[in-house]
Chain A
């Protein structure tokens, strides 16, 4: 197994656990402003890591042709409507891919165009397993022809993707991921996986890494923070420690710290708690997804 030097240490531990350097990035294309920001950030990462990129445009054929209650005589009109909308979706997908390829070519980044017809979730998950990082706009709507918004697909991807996902809000700074990274550690398996995959990805190289924990109880937070710090030291990173005591919103506390230190990227485990637990108190992931102004590196 190869080792890559990051900062002052070795990341052989991260590789041993199967967290590879980024060599292939999947970008989910879909015309929204956050989708455009996702392309921009993904191309910046590709240049930094010398990775290739794949642009994925999805035609949501099942939703377009989904059954609907129609009056007598309406079935023929529905079929015509389905054909028209499908044709428009295919044309739009081809346009996004052509634009993507020309941007990559102008930047000298190796790229491939992928067009998928099917459910967005299945299409993204199928391709995500072949890429070390998947980049999605925060407000991406892959079902734009039939739905006014699509938070469902994004959340399902975050719950089920086998590899890290980078969620990019529209407001992401133009300079890519910036020089400061904030890792949020809550002791969960998801947070550990996110930290280690980030450490092994090559993105930690030449960046100032901070780690923070949030808890109502200061002592608990402190112990957890030290554990997280140790995990990162074991893989060759030397993060700055932050221990946040927040009686209310974890997301808000992390967000404030990120602003304070000028973080250009937030790393955390996605939806670490069960869906049942999320029914009773608001998920930190969801809170950050909605309010973050910088990209979020997430892994479940």
Chain B
């Protein structure tokens, strides 16, 4: 049995990565310091797994394989999406903005919510630079493109890819199309009303497009640069899906499967780096610092999470969560304030524990059997929806949220404070989630 204290490094580390950017911003700016914090938090866990737990070595190897696969995929998506640039400008208005958000709602599941966010946010801001108030556009962008969009495939959001790495079939998340459509469709409709209101108000106050020189600037046709990356992206998706389906049959050991995934993702990332002109990456302000940060912080998450997940699988049923609706709200609430990737795994492991407490043996640790069990699949669906959707509730619920905020502020958009944004999210998202909870869970 995993001792309770084994959960402490995980919880502490999640709190540290949430609070250190606020409390010690200069310290947190350097990736070296992030690595130091990760190492300090992971040290007790490493010691426990190596010397105090039966099977700890195997768990450590599996964790290492999952980490390497995870970072390789994120790195490949980051590289490929960083090589795609939308050049040109449109004049932003309800129709154009709706188009951007709708495209983003689909793209998020293909290139990841971070990739879709970084690809679309700058052209969207350029299109709206003539408008008096753009805050609402960016807020809904975070709701839809940076979060809700990522539900349909494991590539969409890191929590879902973690689930895939742990055995959830690649196409499993497609069954979440109905909640995906409900949430994103509703948000697009509400956004259109907001945007129309702002446009009418601007026209009424004499700040409409007709009065603004920037809005009368020649419209430059939108064109895609770095289009080869779409080919590499398709190849990457095919490779990941194939390895997910066949990996268990082709490779006996976890490390062999992980190695194959790393090789496959590296090939497409290398092709993207080689074939994409430097000017495209410069136009995207591409740099490796964000990816290094992700790799560093997630190293600590993976290591500290390992015994915590074991604890939850063993003890999960005693925590009182048994119904899909409870899992939806609990995983969502935690995803709002902590990164949604570890939160997803936490509650997925809890769900395993709940199913096994009912006398069902799901087999070796992992989520594959859970995703095909009649009760387990509903719990997993609830956790997936909660973690992905409610990552939008705060700036720290999901990685791309604060990225989009920073890019918007660079473009002189006045973004809401942390609590003002939370107020937006509570007012707009919670009623939609209440409907989702009642309809699907």
Using CB atoms and an 8 Å cutoff, list the residues of chain A in contact with chain B: 65-81, 84-85, 88, 148
Contact = CB atoms under 8 A, between A and B. Distances in A.
25 contacts: A66-B25, A67-B22, A67-B24, A67-B25, A67-B28, A69-B395, A70-B21, A70-B406, A71-B339, A71-B395, A71-B401, A71-B402, A72-B293, A72-B339, A72-B341, A73-B403, A74-B401, A75-B293, A77-B290, A77-B403, A77-B406, A77-B407, A78-B21, A79-B29, A80-B285
Contact of A74 (B291, B403, B410, B414): B403
B345 to A, nearest CB: 14
B419 to A, nearest CB: 11
Interface in B1-60: 17-19, 21-25, 28-29, 34
B368 interface: no
B396 interface: yes
A129 B294 CA distance: 48
Contacts, number: 95
Contacts of A71: 339, 395-403
Contacts of B252: none
A71 B337 CA distance: 10
Given A68-B418, A81-B410, A74 B287 contact: no
Contacts of B394: 69
A93 to B, nearest CB: 16
Contacts of A79: 29, 289
A81 B397 CA distance: 20
B297 interface: yes
Contacts of A72: 17, 293-294, 297-298, 339, 341, 399
B406 A81 contact: yes
Nearest to B342: A72
Contacts of B282: none
A85 to B, nearest CB: 7
A78 B414 contact: no
Contacts of B407: 77, 81
A68 B395 CA distance: 10
Instruction: State the main secondary structure of chain B at its contact with A.
Output: helix
Contacts of B410: 80-81, 84-85
A258 to B, nearest CB: 32
B203 interface: no
Instruction: State which size class the interface on B falls in.
Output: 35 or more
Contact of B406 (A65, A66, A78): A78
Contacts of A69: 18-19, 21-22, 394-396, 402, 418
A218 B282 CA distance: 74
A277 to B, nearest CB: 30
B114 interface: yes
A71 B18 CA distance: 8
B114 A73 contact: yes
Nearest to B395: A69
Contacts of B29: 75, 79
Nearest to B18: A69
A61 to B, nearest CB: 12
B17 A76 contact: no
Given A72-B17, A73-B114, A76-B290, 12 more contacts: A68-B402, A71-B339, A71-B397, A72-B294, A73-B294, A73-B400, A74-B403, A74-B406, A77-B406, A79-B289, A80-B406, A81-B410
Contacts of B395: 68-71
B405 to A, nearest CB: 8
A237 to B, nearest CB: 48
A73 B396 contact: no
Contacts of B18: 69
A85 B403 contact: no
- Chain A to chain B: the 10 pairs with minimum beta-carbon distance, closest first: A67-B25, A74-B402, A76-B289, A81-B406, A70-B402, A77-B406, A71-B399, A76-B290, A84-B410, A67-B22
Nearest to B25: A67
Contacts of B23: 67
The listed residue with most A CB atoms (<10 A of its CB), out of B22, B399, B406, B407, is B406
